[in-house]
Amino acid sequence: MLPFLFVTDLDHTLVGDDFAHDELNEWLLEARSQGSKIVYSTGRSLTLYQELAAEVPLFTPDLLIAAVGTAIYRDLQGEPDPAWSEKLQTGWDLEQVKAITAHFADLVLQPETEQSEFKVSFFLTEEAAMEVLPQLDRLLTQQGLEVQLIYSSGRDLDLLPRHANKGSALTFVRQTLGFAPEATIVCGDSGNDIALFSVGEERGIIVGNAQPELLSWYRDHRNPNHYLAKSYCAAGILEGLQYFGFK
Where b means 16+ CB within 10 Å and e means fewer, 36-59 reads: bbbbbbbbbbbebbeeebeeeebe
If one asks whether residue 167 binds ligand GLC (CB under 6 A), the answer comes out as no
Exactly one of 11, 81, 158, 213 binds Mg ion (CB under 5 A); that residue is 11
What is the nearest approach in angstroms of ligand GLC to the Cβ of residue 66? Answer: 9
- Between 55 and 142, CB nearer to ligand GLC: 55
Residue 82: CB partners within 8 Å, gap ≥ 6?
A: none
Total residues at the site for ligand GLC (CB under 6 A)? 11
- Between 11 and 213, CB nearer to Mg ion: 11
| CA distance linking residue 213 with residue 220, whole number of Å | 11
8 A C-beta contact, residue 19 and residue 55? no
From ligand GLC, Mg ion, none, interface partner of 239 (C-beta below 5 to 8 A by class)? none
If one asks whether residue 189 binds ligand GLC (CB under 6 A), the answer comes out as no
If one asks whether residue 41 binds Mg ion (CB under 5 A), the answer comes out as no
| CA distance linking residue 164 with residue 170, whole number of Å | 10
Write the interaction track for Mg ion spanning residues 176-215; mark x where CB under 5 A is met and - where it is not.
Answer: -------------xx-------------------------
Exactly one of 156, 202, 213, 239 binds ligand GLC (CB under 6 A); that residue is 156
* DSSP notation for 67-122: GGGTEEESSTTSPPPHHHHHHHTTT--HHHHHHHHTT-TT-EEPPGGG-BTTBEEE
By CB under 6 A, which span of 54-62, 98-106, 152-160, 221-229 interacts with ligand GLC?
152-160
8 A C-beta contact, residue 127 and residue 157? no
What is the nearest approach in angstroms of ligand GLC to the Cβ of residue 56? Answer: 15
Query: How does strand 120-123 pair with strand 108-109?
Result: antiparallel
Which residue's C-beta sits nearest to ligand GLC? 43
By CB under 6 A, which span of 20-28, 150-158, 180-188, 196-204 interacts with ligand GLC?
150-158
Nearest to 60 by CA among 69, 71, 49, 70: 49
Residues near ligand GLC (CB under 6 A): 43-44, 48, 68, 110, 114, 121, 152, 156, 158, 192
Residues near Mg ion (CB under 5 A): 9, 11-13, 189-190
